[in-house]
Structure 1
């Protein structure tokens, strides 16, 4: 897929599953590779435009790796849905980096990707040289998770990409008034794939079992100890102005516990902001450059 701006990379997990990642750009000894980790049901395509921007940056081009977790995108589906968990997925990311010969990098995690970063902070902190959290923190709001679960379980099945765009827009327009028509289309095309002439969501349907198994009547686990393990690492936290998953209060507490942390609030977007929109690509590029200097 070199013509699309990236190379396909296939590797095996420790339990033998065939997994996939995209690699953008060339290794630059003076720049950290950027490691992109998507949300629960999303995949590497979400980072395509951001990855191209970072890989082709006129001042500091860097290699960018965007992963498809097991059961998403072009990675194989797991026969046991209980293996769709952040600990196993964190191990998959480490296996992929080892196969690529990457020892460390700047990690960009959207939603579940940010939870994986928290796990990596406990499992292998040396791999993290800079962190960008996209609308995620140590506390996940249960009410927002319930809304996401309900949407995934009940979402209509579109027949065309035009229908997919309209379904997504109808469900999320109030939280994302800043998005353009092109933004909505790009989001939908990253979420669905064509299969036998129809559109299907690009993830294993069994992944929804992981959501159904969560008891939202009980407090969700918090990851403050793992977050505090990042205090010596440059961190940028991005929050959608209308996000219900990452509360403003949690963002404030993150800043209190990590005084050097930088924050961005994205106007007119909810969970999770599209990182290729507005000035976010350049602000992320500048953050990574600053992290390298420090």
Structure 2
């Protein structure tokens, strides 16, 4: 594993938030990694293994996940809140712009941030999310998010996730599933394994009404003309091929669509195709930066 530093900063409303920092050059935008709904900075270990050193890599734990503090008011577990947290981090570190790598919720946060302040985005990889999502995927996520679980050890946890999500990563062997749960879960003092997020993050997600969701397509305007990669799992039940194709059409020739074969929602960056796509994006960012 590439060496990193655990660092913290305070959100505007006083919550202590955590991010990993992997060293890299200061004369180019860093790679800023934003995780999915129930995930954390550990998800991006494969990204750091691939590009840290050549690029500075920052991987954030959204509030209520990983080593970041929980929000005492669950109503603030919203994408707009996470956008403010990301901007606070960038401002505190004096970072003018970054290459955003956002998985699912992290990709939505990237699109929202670009809509608010497009100059902060040097490039973006949007992983398995778009302005429209498939209701089937949303219902699947609602079925498990915010429900506490406990396992006796890592092997048992890996087996449980393989049984529940085997259709998402059908080619994975037991070792891959254990690696997956070590990113998603934490070990208690008694040796039991639990999910590493505040169960209250489910409250605003579960209350969302799909019929009243705003039109998010205009958010792509903030990414127009920038190097963008749209990453999609071939088996994704959240991000349809039709939405992915439309995103690339609207973003134009600066955008690349990469479909990762044999995986669902969402590609984990353990796939060679995902890392190759990221490398191509970074090469395009470097060219655009001159």
Q: How big is the alpha-carbon RMSD for the aligned residues of Structure 1 and Structure 2?
A: 1.7
- The SS at the match of 1:107 is strand
Asked whether the 8 Å contact 1:142–1:220 carries over to 2, the reply is: no
Asked whether the 8 Å contact 1:32–1:288 carries over to 2, the reply is: no
Q: Describe the superposition over 1:246-283 as per-residue Cα deviations: whole angstroms up to 9, x where unpaired.
A: 00110111122112210111111000011132242233
Asked whether the 8 Å contact 2:128–2:236 carries over to 1, the reply is: yes
Equivalent of 2:103 in 107, 110, 118:
110
- The SS at the match of 1:264 is strand
Structure 1 stretches of 4+ with a deviation exceeding 4 A read 153-156
* Deviation (angstroms), 1:4: 5.9
| C-alpha distance 221-182 of structure 1, shift in aligned 2 (>3 A) | farther
Give the aligned length.
Answer: 286
TM-score (norm 1): 0.92
Tell me whether 1:67 sits opposite 2:67 in the alignment. Answer: no
User: Take 1:200 and 1:86, find their aligned partners in 2: how far apart are those partners?
Assistant: 24
- The SS at the match of 2:197 is coil
User: Take 1:155 and 1:96, find their aligned partners in 2: how far apart are those partners?
Assistant: 30
Aligned to 2:200: 206
Asked whether the 8 Å contact 1:108–1:131 carries over to 2, the reply is: yes
Aligned to 2:170: 177
Q: Describe the superposition over 1:27-59 as per-residue Cα deviations: whole angstroms up to 9, x where unpaired.
A: 341x43100000001000000121122114xxx
Tell me whether 1:248 sits opposite 2:245 in the alignment. Answer: no
- The SS at the match of 2:143 is helix
Aligned to 1:93: 86
TM-score (norm 2): 0.93
User: Take 2:212 and 2:170, find their aligned partners in 1: how far apart are those partners?
Assistant: 31
Q: Describe the superposition over 1:139-169 as per-residue Cα deviations: whole angstroms up to 9, x where unpaired.
A: 1222211111102355753221111111111
Tell me whether 1:290 sits opposite 2:287 in the alignment. Answer: no
* Deviation (angstroms), 1:111: 0.1
User: Take 1:214 and 1:250, find their aligned partners in 2: how far apart are those partners?
Assistant: 21
| C-alpha distance 221-143 of structure 1, shift in aligned 2 (>3 A) | farther
Tell me whether 1:52 sits opposite 2:45 in the alignment. Answer: no
User: Take 1:105 and 1:53, find their aligned partners in 2: how far apart are those partners?
Assistant: 17
Aligned to 2:31: 34
Asked whether the 8 Å contact 1:119–1:226 carries over to 2, the reply is: yes
Asked whether the 8 Å contact 2:23–2:57 carries over to 1, the reply is: yes
Equivalent of 2:274 in 267, 272, 280:
280
Structure 1 gaps, min length 5: none
Tell me whether 1:238 sits opposite 2:231 in the alignment. Answer: yes
| C-alpha distance 279-212 of structure 1, shift in aligned 2 (>3 A) | closer
After superposition, residues 188-227 of structure 1 pair within 5 angstroms as 188-197=181-190, 198-216=192-210, 218=211, 220-227=213-220
Asked whether the 8 Å contact 1:6–1:25 carries over to 2, the reply is: yes
